[in-house]
Amino acid sequence: MVTVILAEKENQAAAYAESLGSASKKGKVHIVKQTPYFSDEVHIIAAEGHLFEYGLPEDNWDLTKLPLIDVSFKQTLKQDKTSKDIFKQIYQEVTSADQVIIGTDSDREGERIAYSILSHIPDGKKKVTKRLWVNSLTTRALQKAFQNLREPLETYNYYLEAEARAQSDWLVGMNLSPLVTLELQNKGRLSKGKGNSLSVGRVQTPGVRLICENELAIQNFRPETYWKLRLEDKDLGITFSNKEKYSDSDIVLSTSRQLQSVSTISSVETEENQRAAPSLFNLSDIQGIAAKQWGFDSSKTESLIEGLYLKKYLSYPRTDTRFITEDEFDYLKNYLKSYQEVVNCSFEAVNLDPRENYVNPEKVAKTSHYALIPTENIPNLVTLKPDERLIYEAVVRRTLLMFAADCRYLTTTVEVENQELVFKTTGRQMIDLGWAAYSQQKLKADVELPDYRVGDQIETKTIIVEGVTKPPKRITESQLIGEILPKYGLGTQATRAAMLKTIQDRGYVTKDKKTGQLFPTNKAYLLIHYLYDNEFASPETTGGWELFLSQIGEGKINPREFVDAIKEKLVNQVAAAKERSD
Q: According to CATH, where is 3.40.50.140 located in the chain?
A: 2-150
Tell me the pLDDT tens digit for each residue of 119-145.
999 999 999 999 999 999 999 999 999
Q: According to CATH, where is 1.10.290.10 located in the chain?
A: 283-402
Class assignment of domain 160-220+473-580?
Answer: mainly alpha
Least-confidence region, from 206-210, 214-218, 267-271, 496-500: 496-500
Would you say residue 191 has pLDDT above 90? no
Residue 13 CA: distances (Å) to CA of 3, 25, 28, 377: 14, 11, 9, 18
Would you say residue 202 has pLDDT above 80? yes
Burial of 308 (C-beta count, 10 Å sphere; 0-12/13-18/19+): buried
Q: According to CATH, where is 1.10.460.10 located in the chain?
A: 160-220+473-580
User: Given this model, what pLDDT does residue 96 score?
Assistant: 96
User: Given this model, what pLDDT does residue 62 score?
Assistant: 87
Please, are residues 179 and 577 in contact by the beta-carbon 8 Å criterion?
Answer: yes
Q: Alpha carbon 230 to chain centroid distance?
A: 43
User: Given this model, what pLDDT does residue 580 score?
Assistant: 78
Would you say residue 538 has pLDDT above 70? yes
Least-confidence region, from 225-234, 333-342, 382-391, 477-486: 477-486
Please, are residues 344 and 381 in contact by the beta-carbon 8 Å criterion?
Answer: no
**For the residues 243-262, what does the mean pLDDT come to?**
96
Give the pairing type, strands 407-418 and 262-275.
antiparallel
Contacts of 565 (CB under 8 A, 6+ apart): none
Q: According to CATH, where is 2.70.20.10 located in the chain?
A: 225-276+407-468
205: confidence class by pLDDT, cuts 50, 70, 90? very high
User: Given this model, what pLDDT does residue 411 score?
Assistant: 97
90: confidence class by pLDDT, cuts 50, 70, 90? very high
Tell me the pLDDT tens digit for each residue of 487-499.
998 988 888 999 9
Would you say residue 210 has pLDDT above 90? yes
In angstroms, what is the C-alpha Rg of the chain?
Answer: 30
CATH of domain 2-150: 3.40.50.140
d(CA 200, CA 209): 11
Question: Does residue 489 come out as left (phi exceeding 0), alpha (psi in the -120 to 50 range) or beta?
Answer: left
User: Given this model, what pLDDT does residue 441 score?
Assistant: 81
d(CA 194, CA 308): 41
User: Given this model, what pLDDT does residue 368 score?
Assistant: 77
Name the packing angle between helices 496-505 and 298-310 (round to 10°): 140
Would you say residue 581 has pLDDT above 80? no
187: confidence class by pLDDT, cuts 50, 70, 90? confident
Would you say residue 330 has pLDDT above 90? yes
d(CA 100, CA 48): 17
d(CA 234, CA 564): 72
Tell me the pLDDT tens digit for each residue of 149-181.
999 999 999 999 999 999 999 999 999 999 999
Tell me the pLDDT tens digit for each residue of 45-78.
999 999 999 988 887 888 888 999 999 899 999 9
Angle at CA 159, nearest 5°, toward 118 and 313? 90
d(CA 252, CA 188): 54
Give the pairing type, strands 2-7 and 99-103.
parallel
Q: In what order do the strands lie in the sheet with 41-46?
A: 23-26, 29-32, 41-46, 2-7, 99-103, 128-131
289: confidence class by pLDDT, cuts 50, 70, 90? very high
User: Given this model, what pLDDT does residue 27 score?
Assistant: 92
Class assignment of domain 283-402?
Answer: mainly alpha
Would you say residue 296 has pLDDT above 70? yes
Q: Tell me the three state secondary structure of residue 395.
A: helix
Would you say residue 196 has pLDDT above 90? no
Element holding 118 (H helix, E strand)? helix 108-118
Instruction: Provide the whole-model pTM.
Output: 0.88
User: Given this model, what pLDDT does residue 440 score?
Assistant: 80
**For the residues 417-437, what does the mean pLDDT come to?**
96
Percent of the chain whose pLDDT exceeds 90:
87
Would you say residue 195 has pLDDT above 80? no
User: Given this model, what pLDDT does residue 582 score?
Assistant: 62
d(CA 238, CA 447): 11
d(CA 332, CA 309): 16
Burial 374-409 (b: 16+ CB within 10 A, else e): bbbbbbeeeebeebbbbbbbbbbbbbbbbbbbbbeb
CATH of domain 225-276+407-468: 2.70.20.10
Kindly report the average pLDDT of the chain as a whole number. 94
Please, are residues 404 and 438 in contact by the beta-carbon 8 Å criterion?
Answer: yes
Tell me the pLDDT tens digit for each residue of 2-35.
999 999 999 999 999 999 999 999 999 999 999 9
Least-confidence region, from 221-225, 425-429, 508-512, 533-537: 533-537
